Structures are given as structure tokens and as C-alpha cells.
Amino acid sequence: MFLFASLLNALSGGHRPIFDNLWFYLAAAAIATLNFYLSFIRSTIWKRTHKSMDGFKYVSGLPLIGTICSVVACHFSYGALGSTLVGIGILALDTGGLPWFLFLTWSDAGLWDSHDIKYF
């Protein structure tokens, strides 16, 4: 949400350079790339080399860290159009982030239905 507000600010005539504070996005991009690799590429390589998923061990990436890094980076480069577009791309790539969590669990009835929750 914060990145889209920054995008609107940049498009409405923000007075920032196009790219600003990209160093903060570097950490977010590294984490997003690691999460994407662990989610999709690693298992595909294993399946192609071993012909099955027997013996494959699933490894978790760094959940939410990439999202936090992107929000911090957006805070320091608020209104810079290029930096904002880079941040949106990073969030799209970061499979361990909050947008991917919502996307992948949206149809999971057990997670979102409140009538199944027992507090006591």
C-alpha cells in the first residue's frame, strides 16, 4: 500500500530524482531473489536432475524480511518513481512476503473463516 502511495505521489509531480536510495532496495532484492529461488527454482532443478521429489527437503526462505526491507526502502525514497517501481517489482518477486501470503492463502477456508475459530 505504501509503495502505491509513493507511486501516486511520484506521478502527481513529486520533486524527487527518478532513482533515489536504491541501496536499501538491494537488501530487499537479495532476500526476494533467495525466497523466489527456494520456492520455485530449487524444486524444479531437483525434479529435473533426480526425476522425482524423493529425498527433496523443503527449505524456508526469509519470510516477511523482504517486505520489511521494501517498506523501509520506500520510506527513504518516497516519491521517487523509478525506486517505487523497483520496490513493486521486488514485492512481486518476494514469495516470502505479505502479498504472496495473502495471494496463496486467500482461498484457504480454514484460515479465514471466523466461525471455525474456538478461543476457549
Q: What is the pTM of this model?
A: 0.78
Q: Is residue 108 part of a domain?
A: no
pLDDT tens-digit series, residues 28-46: 999 999 999 999 999 999 9
**Domains: count for the chain:** 1
Q: How far is CA 46 from CA 38, 57, 93, 108, in A?
A: 11, 10, 21, 28
Q: Is residue 88 part of a domain?
A: yes
pLDDT tens-digit series, residues 87-102: 999 999 998 888 888 8
- The boundaries of the domain holding residue 42 are 2-50+60-100
**What's the CA gap between 34 and 78, in Å, rounded?**
25
Residue appearing with cell numbers 500500500 = 1
**What's the CA gap between 85 and 98, in Å, rounded?**
18
Q: Is residue 111 part of a domain?
A: no
